[in-house]
Structure 1
Amino acid sequence: MFPRAARALAHLLAGLVTGPASFVWAVLTTLACGLLSFTYLGPPVFLAVTWVSRWIARLERWRAGWVLRRVIADPYGPVTGTNLWARGRSVIREPGTWRDLAWLLAGFPVGLVTGVVGVVAGVVELGVLLAPAWLWAVPNPRLYPVADWLFNTVGGRFTMSLAGLVALWPVLWLVAAVARVQASIAARLLDAGPRARLRQQVSALRETRLRVVDAQAAELQRIERDLHDGAQARIVAAGMTLALADRKLRAAGLAEDPARADVMSARRQLDDALAELRRLVRGIYPPILTDRGLVAALTALAGDAPLTVVVEASDLGELPAAVESAAYFVVAEALANTVKHAAADECVVTVRRSGDVLALAVRDDGRGGADPSGSGLDGLRRRVEALDGTMEVTSPPGGPTTVRAEFPCAS
């Protein structure tokens, strides 16, 4: 009880100082921002004032959390915008900005009332407990008989101390309760509201999901590298060994020996296994993506297609591995569908990056009529949406068919 009461009393004393200072700051800065809002100084001054106000609010959250014994999280969302005006509008639309202002204004009267009650109760209780140590130095002859006996006699002073001991628990409870009231009001205003908490949870889930996607992409790269450098190299070595064995059999005049036929059959099987392994590796994570990037991978994909494919791409910069992989497979699946179903003569693949958004489009001159809800396109859509991207398929009867996808690619 004593540590909690001491914490509460310290909180109330601090509130008597921070409350008036915060109130004066809020009033002056609100007037200043209002007067400057019609000038070019408005946005930078408002952002600077808001930055300071948020630090004051964080201090108040810490004080309230210190009393309530819990963490009070910041309610702010990210400040967006490419210029001061846009960032200022983002801060104005943030509910936490106005909740901070409300507490900076309300903290003074709330802190004054609760602080005076708690501090006076604590000081009076401490004075009563220590009455024998100090009351003799301030005699007062103009007291009623009972008060005169309590204040001016040794027995009366020790009786006051005894009464103070009896009242100690209720007074400590009162001080702690008053401090909790002040801290609870601060927490109600400064804590994240339901919308802010939901937004924070969504943001945390999104970051967790993106980390899982990145980890999956890294794992696929590792599997591809292990297959490429391990199993594939061993299959190639085994094929070379069989080729040497075949050469030795022919040099020994055993060209018609049944054993040579078995060696040749084993070589063909190894070649088929190697080709299948390479298709598997390209399906997991194409090595060219790691070696040369997305544009080179799409160019190689276009070169292998049985129709004319034109790749139009600008400088894409560095892209996350998961985004590169998803974009590659969107184009690969779109080209495969074009070859199988569209009867097209030409296909144009356009890839552009604008800021933190990668946009690609695959357009063919085929007969159209593609089903956007088909299993292949639906699987691609889910892969794109897993990265917070969007995918749209437009394929009217008679064509053309266009597959568009956008990926956020901020690091």
Structure 2
Amino acid sequence: MPTVDVRRAMRVTAGLALGGLSAFAEAVFVIVATLALAVPAARPAVFGATRWFAERDRSRLRRYLDYPTSDDYRDSRALRYLGTRSVVGGLGAGIFVLIALGVAAAGIMVWQLISGHPLGGGDPIGEDQDWYDAPGLLLIGVLLVFLAVQGLIGVVALERRLAHHFFGPTKQERLQRRVDALTHSRAEVVEAVNDERRRIERDLHDGVQQRIVSLGMLLGRARRAKDPERAEALLRQAHEETQLALQELRDVAWRVYPIALDEGGLGTALEALAERSSLPVGLSYALDERVDPATETVAYFVASEAVTNAIKHAAASRIDIAVGRTGRMLTVTISDDGVGGARPDGNGLSGLARRVGAADGVFTVDSPAGGPTVVRAELPCA
């Protein structure tokens, strides 16, 4: 363990030495760049060089000082960083110069002691020189070494604070990005709700409504029939149409919101989805406990819509659903062995992407030509 600490100390010292050397070049560059910014045509080149210097310094911080930083920063902030860091680097270079002078002075004094010459050019040892001069100088040397080490440690702390402050977006920029993300998420919520309304209206219009219209026509024909047997046959057809209409109405209600989500949670709802599917559906459910209802709802509808799309368009023979959790993220993966070629910007998948985006999740589709198709949603959950 001590060997590791010594190596790390040597690596950090080397990084500070490199930073001290580069500080002079950075100081000259900052002066020239500040003057050059007065010429609009020179700004792209100035900011390009600024980023080059900043990236070199980020690499030094990461390699020698074990301090990785973000590359999400503006060029103007990088220029301010270089100007401030050149001062800190110059301070580190000054400490190294003092250390070098101290080592040279200590070497001279050691040579004077060995050769019998007077310390500091004074009286020879043993004549009028005080006996405590050598121990006193040794204590002063130890104190100076301690101060130099503390100075280097302070420079390391300043380097890291500067990097933390200048590299990456500012607090205001992060706040603005969050506001933009929330605005976009709100628009996605509205669009997802509108898509859901349109889907429900389409299901009612194309399914249940047509069944009820057919039922009304059959009942009307039965009322007008003169032949009792004919009337009986029409009433029997009307009864069958009633059963079909009820079944389609149940299907629409299930797609709007399956009651199994409230009663048994996501696992129960997905089991019911697999049982109702016209294709074999394998389910792998690896959650030990339920997540929040909002996340369960989004996860269910992602699985339901993906299964529906696979049945309608993928020409698949099997569908698999896998649900798991990694930390605070719930993952839902739906895969099929169909022909592939699913378009993420299609009506069904784009609606799922908006629904997942509204929940601050990540939605991906991998569907090469020839298959297989893998739809994956990652949702934050409490």
Query: What interval of TM-score do these two structures reach, taking the shorter chain for normalisation?
Result: 0.3 to 0.5
Q: TM-score, normalised by structure 2?
A: 0.41
Q: TM-score, normalised by structure 1?
A: 0.39
